[in-house]
């Protein structure tokens, strides 16, 4: 099954108190290129994500985005420095009678005491976080690959249609070739008749010239190779491996054979077929640029 290089997949789940979202998107690229957007505190998992995807994606410029929000798993812990609070309160109360002050201390006063509270970052369990992110990333990857395969099936149908069109034109060229030789023989005969009249027409000479012309304009080898390339193309489309680069090579060979036919056969009908065929091959080339 062929796959498009473009695709998108999104996974989302709440696991162990964390709301996790992973998005995978890709565009065309000659090779596999990985990029990642994750919180700085989770930098340790970038290589893990790269390895996870590399085994399933062969070509394309891939970008992974990871978003994590704590729901029931706070990443900060607040502690109260009770000794500091106690010292402040005792110090204030020690001057209460001396200065005739009201003892109206409350929690709001405690909150304004310097160093009364300490915020401590909780230590993250990297193994657990990675296990959770990996689970969501695999969901996104499954959707991403499914989208690539769906687009790949559409591309396959289009390519098969274009191959059938080209194959039909190859058949037209093959049918036209002997007609071209016969038309040349007739033109040669008519020309000799004009020059020599109806006497002393050397039929063997005409046949010899027609034979030489036929050899120069023969495209049997080119059409046979074109049919072979088309057959290989179809076989590859039914395979399961990444075929983008191989198809690119085949298209180059198809274009080469088409150009050779065009240079050999100076016939208006064949020229039109060649122009149409080159246009169709170019459309195929553009299509396969998006195949993994």
Q: What are the residue boundaries of the structural domains of the chain, listed by start?
A: 7-73+127-148, 76-121, 150-288
- Measured CA to CA, the distance from residue 256 to residue 261 in angstroms comes to 9
- 125: closest CA among 20, 11, 16, 12? 16
Rounded Cα distance, 9 and 22, in Å: 8
Comparing 26 with 85, the larger pLDDT belongs to: 26
Whether the Cβ atoms of residue 41 and residue 67 lie closer than 8 Å to each other: no
Predicted confidence (pLDDT) at residue 69 exceeds the cutoff of 70: yes
What pTM value is reported for the model? Answer: 0.68
Tokens standing for 37?
């957007």
**Residue 187: predicted pLDDT:** 63
Rounded distance between C-alpha atoms, residue 274 and residue 285, angstroms: 16
3-state secondary structure of 115: coil
Across 20-29, 73-82, 123-132, least confident range = 73-82
13/107: higher pLDDT: 13
In this prediction, residue 111 has a pLDDT band, given cuts at 50, 70 and 90, of confident
Q: In Å, how far are 54, 56, 71, 127 from 20, measured between CA atoms?
A: 21, 22, 10, 15
Architecture (CATH level 2) of domain 7-73+127-148:
2-Layer Sandwich (3.30)
Q: Mean pLDDT over all residues of the chain?
A: 83
Query: Residue 62 in contact with residue 53, Cβ under 8 Å?
Result: yes
Taking 90 as the threshold, does the pLDDT of residue 109 lie above it? no
Q: Specify the pLDDT at position 198.
A: 56
Q: Can you give the pLDDT at residue 6? A: 92
**pLDDT bracket for residue 66 (50, 70, 90):** very high
Residue 243 has pLDDT above 80, yes or no: yes
Q: Which residue has the tokens 């390519």?
A: 159
On whether the CB atoms of residues 151 and 60 are closer than 8 A, the answer is: no
How many C-beta neighbours within 10 Å does residue 228 have? Answer: 14
Q: Where does the pLDDT of residue 215 fall: very low under 50, low under 70, confident under 90, or very high at 90 and above?
A: low
Percent of the chain with pLDDT over 70: 81
**Three-state DSSP class for residue 288:** helix
Question: pLDDT band for position 147 (50/70/90)?
Answer: very high
Give 176: exposed, middle or buried? Use CB within 10 Å, 0-12, 13-18, 19+.
Answer: middle
Q: Which stretches within 197-219 are classed as H helix?
A: 203-217
Which of 6-20, 88-102, 125-139, 245-259 has the least mean pLDDT?
A: 88-102
Predicted local distance difference test score (pLDDT) of residue 173: 86
Cβ–Cβ contacts within 10 Å for residue 15, how many? 17
pLDDT, position 17: 86
């Amino acid at each position: 099954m062929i796959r498009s290089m473009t695709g998108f997949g999104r996974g989302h789940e709440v696991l162990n108190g964390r709301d996790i979202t992973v998005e995978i998107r890709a565009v065309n690229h000659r090779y596999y290129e990985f990029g990642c957007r994750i919180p700085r505190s989770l930098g340790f998992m970038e290589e893990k994500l790269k390895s996870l995807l590399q085994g399933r994606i062969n070509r394309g410029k891939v970008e992974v985005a990871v978003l994590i929000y704590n729901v029931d798993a706070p990443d900060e812990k607040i502690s109260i420095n009770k000794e500091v609070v106690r010292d402040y309160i005792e110090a204030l109360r020690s001057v209460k009678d001396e200065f005739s002050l009201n003892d109206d201390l409350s929690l709001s006063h405690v909150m304004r005491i310097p160093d009364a509270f300490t915020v401590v970052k909780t230590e993250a369990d990297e193994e657990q976080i990675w296990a959770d992110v990996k689970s969501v990333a695999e969901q996104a990857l499954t959707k991403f690959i499914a989208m690539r395969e769906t687009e790949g099936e559409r591309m396959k149908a289009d390519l098969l249609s274009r191959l059938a069109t080209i194959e039909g034109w190859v058949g037209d060229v093959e049918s036209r070739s002997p007609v071209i030789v016969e038309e040349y023989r007739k033109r040669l005969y008519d020309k000799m008749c004009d020059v020599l009249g109806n006497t002393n027409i050397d039929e063997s000479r005409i046949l010899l010239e027609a034979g030489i012309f036929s050899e120069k304009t023969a495209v049997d080898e080119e059409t046979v190779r074109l049919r072979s390339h088309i057959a290989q193309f179809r076989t590859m489309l039914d395979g399961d491996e990444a075929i983008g680069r191989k198809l690119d090579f085949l298209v180059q060979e198809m274009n080469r054979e088409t150009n050779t036919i065009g240079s050999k056969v100076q016939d208006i009908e064949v020229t039109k077929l060649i122009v149409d065929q080159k246009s169709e091959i170019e459309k195929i080339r553009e299509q396969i640029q998006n195949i993994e």
